[in-house]
Amino acid sequence: MLTESRNRSPGMAENYFKYKLDYPRKLIDFLYNECDFSWESVIADIGSGTGTFTRLLLERGSRVVAIEPDRELRETTERILEDEFPRFFSLEATAENTTLSDRSIHHIVCAQSFHFFDAKRCRKEFRRILRPGGSVALIVMIPSCHDEFSSECEALIRRHSKNVPDTGGRGLDSIYSGFFQETGYSTLSLSGQLSLDFDSFSGRLLSSFNLPGSFEVGHEDLMEEMDLLFELYQQSGRVTYMYDLKVYAGKLDTAD
């Protein structure tokens, strides 16, 4: 898995920002009502990208440390959020080496970023920085298995994902749930759909999954497959993309 950087191509921050997912309010309510998040919490948003989820936490009044190794993504977040939210703090670091102090964080969120991390190493790091009783919320969006087009999208993602064969598949279920091991976890499952033209369809997949970016090996083949898939299912220049959004939330035994 990629650990030190997302290794995205130049300009990828624009895709992240332009085609970001609008997370439903039910998801945020779940964290604050069921997982002990509060306005008093210090929350680490790890792999924060362009700060889409960071903003939602800040809007609840929490203090948020946005951790992002990619300079372009991080600077986009800083430009958007720094002046508006005094409780926002940006940090250049990785999930495996956050550089945060021991037991300095109440809760951790990884919104569509966990598949970039080394699960064993970041679990150890999360245990170190979490305060006793702190929660970790892992959020993943995957294509729905309930319609043919979304299933084809999932197959495409599996074929082209870098280093993570099941990034778009149900195989992630065991990875996410296994992260909590003996400590247990709770889940929230939500579904949604989007009407997308080709640019928004391809941009959303490129910004949501670990796929080859521009100038990377495999990108041209990926885009050709996306184009063929889009043409096969489009109606009046748009496709309906159905997705499942799942939250795995639990506590970790904190380091001694």
Q: Are the C-beta atoms of residues 67 and 125 closer than 8 Å to each other? A: no
Rounded to an integer, the average pLDDT of 139-148 is 85
CATH superfamily of 12-143+164-192+243-251: Vaccinia Virus protein VP39 (3.40.50.150)
pLDDT at residue number 145:
79
- Give the pLDDT band of residue 11 (cuts 50, 70, 90): low
Rounded to an integer, the average pLDDT of 156-180 is 68
Integer CA distances (angstroms), 60 to 52, 56, 186, in order: 14, 7, 22
Domains of the chain, residue spans: 12-143+164-192+243-251
Q: Are the C-beta atoms of residues 62 and 43 closer than 8 Å to each other? A: yes
Q: Taking the model in full, what pTM does it have?
A: 0.86
pLDDT at 169 over 80: no
> How many Cβ atoms are within 10 Å of 131's Cβ, its own excluded?
14
Residue pointed to by tokens 């799942």 = 246
Dihedral Cα 218, 224, 229, 233, nearest 10 deg: 150
pLDDT at 4 over 60: no
What is d(CA 237, CA 255) in angstroms, rounded to the nearest whole number? 53
